Amino acid sequence: MTPVLFQRARVIDPRNGVDGVRDVLVTDGRVAQVSEAPLPAPKDARVVDATDKWLVPGFIDLHVHLREPGEEGKETVLTGCRAAVAGGFTGVVAMPNTKVVNDSALVTELVLSRARDAGLCHVYPAGAITKGLKGEELSEAGELIGAGCVALTDDGRPVMNAGLMRRVLQYATQFDVPVMVHEEDLTLSAGGAMHEGATSTRLGLRGIPSSAEVAMVARDLVLLEETKGRLHVAHVSCEGSVRLIREAKQRGLRVTCEVAPHHFTLDDRAVGDYDTHAKMAPPLRGDVDVKALREALVDGTVDAIATDHAPHGVSDKLVEFEKGINGIVGLETALGLTLALVHEGVLTPRRAVELLSDGPARVFGLPGGHLAPGAPADITLLSPSEEWTVDAHRFYSRSRNTPFHGRTLKGRVTQTWVGGRCVFEDGQLKESR
Amino acid sequence: MRHLLGIAGWRRDELEALLDRAQAHLPGGPDASHVLRGRVVANLFFEDSTRTRSSFEVAARKLGADVLNWSYAGSSVSKGETLLDTARNIEAMGPAVIVIRHRSSGAPGLVARHVKCAVVNAGDGAHEHPSQALLDAFTLRQRWGRLDGRTVLIVGDVLHSRVARSNLLCLKALGARVVLCGPPTLLPPGLEEMGGEVTHQLDAVLPQADAVMCLRLQTERMSEAFLPSQREYSRLFGITPARAERMKPDALVLHPGPINRGVELSPVVADGPRSVILEQVANGVAVRRAILEACAS
């Protein structure tokens, strides 16, 4: 494998406390050296002039829907990986709510095999908590984890049965994997199409109160304390949830959480005139919640930024708002939306990078997330101030469902390297096959 | 061509002009049977509504229009056709105006963005029912001349009521004070931001009202436990003869119909001297003629 020398990059590596101009040498697919002094280029090395660029650990997205098997018209493992590397992600966690559900080693192996064929980035499957995501019987977690699953989740569906949830947290402790939860009390959210507030009243849409999420977070924290398990709260959307998680962390509970870029960027007013591209679960919340999420990103309550990349077809969104399917694609806009917080002075560059790389790697115990010598050369090189306008028609994802079409973002991926191989460069994929 | 998707977005002078135009369409006004002659008004009703559909149909015919009545029952929708496909098929038949009633909030707006003809919202979900609000305002204006300084009390299930939302916006735009009253489970958040005042104490506000607008208690919601019982609702929020006694002597009672007699409104009051319910129905045709005329022109 050709050695690579990145010269004069601003290296931001939160785990190792690096933020400064460095040369980085990659050999044999791993980081070999990070040096303040200029490094000589080995023979046959590719030399990348990274002046004015940030060189950071490759991003890891804990929450991605690749739709394969079953809904390949929306996305496949291949197209999802293309979108990932175009967005600077070198690893993604694939949710199990495919059709067939990933509740068996067979499906896990299929996803991993498709990922190997794609040959672009790491795909880490998550296995279902319950068989068929029905919330009734535990799936065979041991088999799933043995086949390569990194977490257990019924994502998209809450585990409404508290007794079952308690047993899952208990059972998973033997594998030490996180139980990832979509927190929604269905008796509180029933029939709701958006956040309950002044906008839902004006639009005459049934609201989903914040309590639908907060009440379940509270329940699961109680169960977590009792079971000594590991809980990862997916796509936290409201002020009450981050407050409870912050307190639980202070008390030493093993809870982590993620926030999606759309939840810290938009509030419920983005639904505007029944725009189904602003329809998601959990819904876009109020401005108070957006403010609270931003504070939680800063103070460490939030461990990771995760996109909840949810591809859907045009006809899924071109319908009455109440009928519209939840979710937006997120892999290709995550960096720009995260850096918006840096440009606004909310996050430091180091914290932003941490939330996209080191944080998620730690939460699920994944390789990567840092650039110490010996670490896999999963690297994202980006221009932090380059402006570009989101054009959904040019996404690598197979789907175009985004509320950010037409928005100008600042910060763009210039190169994505996975295991020392360049997979994306200057807007072009570098596929091996 | 302009759509009427809701009261939101219309200025006071535009609403007044529409109501002025309705004045000319009252019985005994100038012959308007040529206004839409040779043109088609399509009624797309995805939800049952004999009253509103009939009113639009009579209004359209009195303007000389041909009326295409489409209803969801037994239609292609039951075979899985989308709203937009249905609307585009109707549009291909060349109507000047599509009047649409739909159970989903925002559905007429969705159609309006994808067809070339004018779209009139005849009630969408819990969003708006602008023609109802205009006929209510017209009826009050007929009695009072102006709405400025008047207090209108809207009582009942505001949460599920498109009539309440459109009336709040319309009455406020025309200068009235609007108070919304009902049980807390049926008053959604953010009504103040739309210009309303909110209370749960009917008897306290009743004497201030120049008009009381009852909302139909949607009994189909009872199973969702918004209320313990019709009986309790009626005791707390029903306009009974005893309550009517405590109203201003000349205060009016309105109801968009159909009435649950004895629940939100007692028969004695519904049929009594304060009631303008049948005037509302009569004025509905004139107001809808004005709306169709405005949108088709």
Do A354 and A212 share a structural domain? Answer: yes
Give the per-residue pLDDT at A168.
97
Residue among A197, A201, A204 whose CB faces B125 most closely: A204
Residues B126, A206: C-beta atoms closer than 8 Å: yes
Smallest CA–CA separation between A281 and chain B, in Å?
19
Q: How many domains does chain A have?
A: 2
Report the residue of B46, B88, B104 to disrupt the A interface, i.e. the one with the largest count of A CBs within 10 Å. B104
Do A203 and A65 share a structural domain? Answer: yes
Active site residue A308: yes
Residue A306: which CATH number?
3.20.20.140
> How many Cβ contacts (< 8 angstroms) between chains A and B?
70
First and final CA of chain B: distance in angstroms? 6
Q: What percent of chain A has pLDDT over 90?
A: 99
* pLDDT above 70: residue A83: yes
Amino acid code (one letter) for A145: I
Residues 6+ apart with CB under 8 A from B224: none
Average pLDDT rounded to a whole number, residues A379-400: 98
Band the pLDDT of A426: cuts 50, 70, 90.
very high
Do A193 and A111 share a structural domain? Answer: yes
Q: Which residue of the set A23, A61, A185, A308 is catalytic?
A: A308
Say what the alpha-carbon torsion angle A183, A288, A302, A138 is, to the nearest 10 degrees. 0
Which among B249, B259, B175 is positioned nearest to B213, based on CA atoms?
Answer: B259
Band the pLDDT of A62: cuts 50, 70, 90.
very high
Give A322-375 pLDDT, tens digit per residue. Answer: 999 999 999 999 999 999 999 999 999 999 999 999 999 999 999 999 999 999
d(CA A91, CA A75) in angstroms, rounded, equals 17
Report the residue of B88, B105, B167, B172 to disrupt the A interface, i.e. the one with the largest count of A CBs within 10 Å. B105
Give the per-residue pLDDT at A64.
98
Please report how the helices B277-296 and B12-24 are oriented relative to each other, as an axis angle in degrees rounded to 10.
110
Do A395 and A360 share a structural domain? Answer: no
Domain B12-128+284-296 is found in CATH 3.40.50.1370: yes
Give B77-88 pLDDT, tens digit per residue. Answer: 777 789 999 999
- Architecture of the domain spanning B130-280: 3-Layer(aba) Sandwich (3.40)
Do A43 and A147 share a structural domain? Answer: no
* pLDDT above 70: residue A433: no
d(CA A370, CA A379) in angstroms, rounded, equals 9
Give A273-282 pLDDT, tens digit per residue. Answer: 999 999 999 9
Mean pLDDT value across chain A: 97
Give the per-residue pLDDT at B71.
84
Give the per-residue pLDDT at B73.
76
Q: Contact, A178 vs A364, CB < 8 A? A: yes
Give B145-193 pLDDT, tens digit per residue. Answer: 999 999 999 999 999 999 999 999 999 999 999 999 999 999 999 999 9
Domain-located, residue A432: no
Do A288 and A192 share a structural domain? Answer: yes
Give the per-residue pLDDT at A13.
98
Band the pLDDT of B224: cuts 50, 70, 90.
confident
Query: A273: nearest CA in chain B?
Result: B106
Give the per-residue pLDDT at B220.
74
What is the secondary structure of B105-158 as a DSSP string?
A: TTHHHHHHTT-SSEEEEEEETTTB-HHHHHHHHHHHHHHHS--TT-EEEEES--
Task: State the binding site of B for L-aspartate.
Answer: 79, 162, 216
Task: State the binding site of B.
Answer: 51-52, 79, 101, 129, 132, 162, 216, 257-258
Band the pLDDT of B1: cuts 50, 70, 90.
low
Do A266 and A135 share a structural domain? Answer: yes
Range of the domain at A66: 58-364
* pLDDT above 90: residue A140: yes
Give A266-310 pLDDT, tens digit per residue. Answer: 999 999 999 999 999 999 999 999 999 999 999 999 999 999 999
d(CA A356, CA B156) in angstroms, rounded, equals 50
- Residues of A at the B interface, defined by Cβ within 8 angstroms: 196-207, 273-274, 315, 318-323
Domain-located, residue A433: no
Domain-located, residue A370: no
Residues B125, A322: C-beta atoms closer than 8 Å: yes
Residues of chain A in contact with residue B102, where contact means CB-CB under 8 angstroms, are 320
Average pLDDT rounded to a whole number, residues B250-271: 95
Residues of chain B in contact with residue A197, where contact means CB-CB under 8 angstroms, are 189-190
Do A318 and A250 share a structural domain? Answer: yes
Domain boundaries, chain B: 12-128+284-296, 130-280
Residue among B109, B165, B194 whose CB faces A274 most closely: B109
Which among B167, B106, B102 is positioned nearest to B134, based on CA atoms?
Answer: B167
Residues A322, B109: C-beta atoms closer than 8 Å: no
Q: Do B12-128+284-296 and B130-280 show the same overall fold? A: yes
